[in-house]
Amino acid sequence: MNKNTDTFIPKRDVSEFQHLVAAIFQCCQERLQYQSERFGLPDAELRCLMQFEGERYLTAKTLAYRLNVAKSRVTKLVSSLVKRKLLASRPDPADSRIKLLSLTPAGGLLLKEIGRFRFEVHRTVLEQFSDEQRGELLHALSLLSRHMKSVKDMMA
């Protein structure tokens, strides 16, 4: 998978990278748990709701793809969010077999509140860095994201 097969990467570097990624992932998982508790939604429903950011309508099929879950799982998530009056479901005017899902006004307000919370969490993390460190961090994370995506694409 390494583009430059002549590059030697010490085992300790790979181990440290694995450890750091795992620690960051764990921290993110804990934040997601806190977020779920704060907004009174199970994590899966919260993630489903967040898919509507910037979207007018979505279908169950689109949600299943984005969330990487079975359509039957999305049906349960959507049903719960409809019961909570956070999502609305209506037939597609072009094809009545398809249901268009959209945020209700209450769902839109909750999504904005979640967005503000997430923004503040990330802003608070970035406050811990100097301007120079912040620039270096964002550059390094951009590189990391790009390289992780390229390895994922090679694995597919």
6 domain residue, yes or no = no
Of 57 and 152, the one with more pLDDT: 57
In a domain? residue 3: no
Cβ-based neighbours of 35, under 8 Å, separated by 6 or more: 46, 114, 117, 118
For the purposes of burial, counting CB atoms within 10 Å of the CB of 151, is it exposed (0-12), middle (13-18) or buried (19 or more)?
exposed
C-alpha span between 117 and 145 (Å, rounded): 23
CA separation (Å) from 8 to 3, 18, 146?
Answer: 12, 17, 21
Find the mean pLDDT for residues 125-152: 96
Residue 31's domain spans which residues?
A: 11-155
Residue 96 is predicted with a pLDDT of: 86
Separation CA 47–CA 79 (nearest Å): 14
Give the three-class secondary structure for 100: strand
**Separation between Cα atoms, residue 91 and residue 115, nearest integer Å:** 28
4 within domain boundaries: no
What pLDDT sits at residue 58?
Answer: 96
Q: Residue 117: what residue type?
A: F
The answer to whether position 62 is within a domain reads yes
Report yes or no on 1 lying in a domain: no
Q: How many CB atoms lie within 10 A of CB 120?
A: 10
Number of domains in the chain: 1
In SS3 terms, 27-78 reads as: HHHHHHHHHHHHHCCCHHHHHHHHCCCCCCCECHHHHHHHHCCCHHHHHHHH
Instruction: Report the CATH number at residue 45.
Output: 1.10.10.10
Q: Name the amino acid, one letter, at 112.
A: K
pLDDT (tens digit, 9 = 90+) per residue, 22-75? 999 999 999 999 999 999 999 999 999 999 999 999 999 999 999 999 999 999
Q: What is the pLDDT of residue 69?
A: 95
Residue 5's pLDDT is 59
What is the per-residue pLDDT for 156?
83
Q: Is the pLDDT of residue 4 over 70?
A: no
Please, what is the average pLDDT of the chain? 94
> In the prediction, which pLDDT does 3 show?
58
